[in-house]
Chains A and B, each alone.
Chain A
Amino acid sequence: MASTIRVRATNNGEITEVQALIQHPMDSGFVKDSKGEIIPPHFIQQLTFEYDGKPVFVADWGGGVSKDPYVKFAFKGGKKGDELKVSWVDNKGATDSNTAKIG
């Protein structure tokens, strides 16, 4: 199955800019379904970006982040062709990870 993680990383010399879009319901646990029952919380809690074995960005998320979450950040360093590793874990203990080449 395809990864839930889509990443675009581009380096312009000094800075590598990273955008990620992740397929995840991010249910907050505060919304009811059409039958009036609460949809249980189901959201990514931690999203980690690693470059060269070190975290360059870590997101701690709650159910208030939008569905199919998006995040953009940038870090100094990174080289075209190098890999960026992205992984997440959600409140149910599920995980996914993906790598992206810096372009």
Chain B
Amino acid sequence: MMKLRSAICFGLSALALAALAFALPAGAADKIDPVADAKAFKKFFYDKFPKLKPEDFVNGPYSMDEGLHKQWVEKEQFPPYEFAVEAGKEMFTKPFKNGKTYEDCFPNKGIGIRQNYPYFDEKEGKVITLELALNRCREANGEAPYSYVKDEMAALTAYMAFTSRGKPMDIKIPDDPRALAAYEQGKEYFYTRRGQLNFACSTCHVQSPGERIRTEVLAPALGIMNAMPIYRSEWSGMGTTSRRYVTCNSQVRGVPFNPQDDEYRNVEYYLSYVSNGLPISGPGARP
């Protein structure tokens, strides 16, 4: 059934998708143009959901379905992820063995900066995500890194996201061919089919937002990173961006990459950039 559905979807959206994936000015086939991409990306979703305001997209499925929205509003009164945010705050200010804290690794003591991640490190020539930066902070201070898919990293990123709530996503791509290449690789990853189910990220999140995959309502790709990390009812807990990327790859019956591998960091870079301007809503709740 999913095959038939995806075939139909593919047929209907192929044109729109092609326009989106290859939003290039005529004759400039080799030029990477994130600004044009972001504009086309947003236009695609704004046109598809004319009743939604830009900031609604950061709430994923809750902006796609009235019944889900109501349950979400009820839970947001006193959300279950409060404990993870508090745990993250406590961890953030607790000294490492050498006396320093995470505050020493980040600008403004780590408060209100989440919207600047990922960023492209020109010295190293690679994309640095928040999760990667946190583990580097640990290692620089003589501590063992945390797993990218477990509670500690989820709590730390939840706290940092919380301090940035409401701030617009603000990803920068320096005028550096390596940064542009990383961005483009992320974009390519996003639109490439993988796994036995042969789905690309776009198959669900660009072609079918608001529709269901089996019984779950799909979130739009626009604003999807703004809600990270997410407290999923399914996980009964807070989970990281890495965890979601890995499990999604498994769910399309593909072999996942390792957390924070190039492909994942680059797609996070791409997805975050095209959602610039939309508010940070993390840590988000999700079904």
Chain A residues near B (Cβ < 8 Å)? 2, 6, 8, 19-21, 23, 67-68, 70, 72
Contacts and interface: CB of A to CB of B under 8 A. Distances in A.
Report whether over half of chain A's contact residues are helix, strand or loop; otherwise say mixed.
strand
B77 A68 contact: no
Interface of B: 75, 77-80, 82-83, 86, 90, 236
B84 to A, nearest CB: 10
B80 A21 contact: yes
A68 B86 contact: no
A98 to B, nearest CB: 14
Given A2-B86, A23-B83, A8 B78 contact: yes
Nearest to A69: B80
A19 B83 contact: no
A57 to B, nearest CB: 16
Contacts of B75: 70
A2 B83 CA distance: 10
Question: Which of A20, A67, A68, A72 has the most chain B CB within a 10 Å cutoff?
Answer: A68
Nearest to A26: B236
22 contacts: A2-B86, A2-B90, A6-B78, A6-B82, A8-B78, A19-B77, A19-B78, A20-B78, A21-B78, A21-B79, A21-B80, A21-B82, A23-B83, A67-B80, A67-B236, A68-B80, A68-B83, A70-B75, A70-B78, A70-B80, A72-B77, A72-B78
B283 to A, nearest CB: 14
Contacts of B77: 19, 72
Nearest to B231: A68
Contacts of A20: 78
Nearest to A8: B78
A67 B231 CA distance: 13
Contacts of B86: 2
A87 B54 CA distance: 43
Nearest to A70: B78
Report the 7 A-B pairs with minimum CB-CB distance, sorted nearest first: A68-B80, A21-B78, A23-B83, A67-B236, A19-B78, A70-B78, A21-B82
B92 to A, nearest CB: 15
Nearest to B237: A67
A93 to B, nearest CB: 22
Contacts of A67: 80, 236
Contacts of B82: 6, 21
Contacts of B79: 21
Contacts of A21: 78-80, 82
Given A19-B77, A72-B78, 5 more contacts: A2-B86, A8-B78, A68-B80, A70-B75, A72-B77
A72 B77 CA distance: 10
Contacts of B90: 2
A6 B77 CA distance: 13
A63 to B, nearest CB: 13
Contacts of A23: 83
Contacts of B83: 23, 68
Contacts of A2: 86, 90
A20 B78 CA distance: 8
A6 B82 CA distance: 9
